[in-house]
Amino acid sequence: MEFSQIALGAAFLVVFGLPVLAVRGGLPDEQASEVAEARRAVYASAALSLLILSVVAFGIAAWQDIDPARLGWKVDAPGPAFVWALGIALGGLAVAWAVSSIGSRIGWEESPVSLALMPRDGKEIRSFLMMVGIASVGEEYLFRGFAYQILADPLGAWPAVLIT
């Protein structure tokens, strides 16, 4: 199936535009205390941004008559899919732990902004977990569902995997 130029353009905006915005929107370490004062607002902003982007991508897919199953909204075998998802999540956590452990041994320090974003109490933990849940579903849909599927058509599977 060939995708429309609109869908292709939206996919390119997701995979190239979002990282550029993330880098350009980064805060200097000196502003860590300001971030710490507004942690829950930062969590809400991140969740809302990803929710809006996902709804826009879903709207573009509907507008362009792209079958939802083509964008990952169908699971034929839930059991194996769950096992794969769990395995990938645990593998990702293991890699993150290994990088963190190696980093601390060689003297890398966590960014003050990252430390300021860590939740401190029950309300912040609940807000953080809600943001993480929305972010995980939103990012999976945006990058692996929407962008990957659309970019795999003209570029091939492996280039689309590397890009997304």
The predicted pLDDT at position 1 comes to: 59
pLDDT in tens, the chain (164 residues): 578 888 988 988 888 888 877 777 677 778 888 888 889 998 999 899 889 998 999 899 999 888 888 887 788 888 998 898 899 889 989 999 999 899 999 999 888 888 888 999 999 999 999 999 998 888 888 888 899 989 988 899 999 989 88
SS (H, E, C) 15-44: HHHHHHHHHHCCCCHHHHHHHHHCHHHHHH
Q: What span, in angstroms and rounded, lies between the C-alpha atoms of 124 and 117?
A: 10
For the chain, how many residues are written? Answer: 164
- List Cα–Cα distances, 142 to 39, 41, 49, 117, in angstroms: 25, 23, 12, 24
Q: Is the pTM of this model over 0.85?
A: no
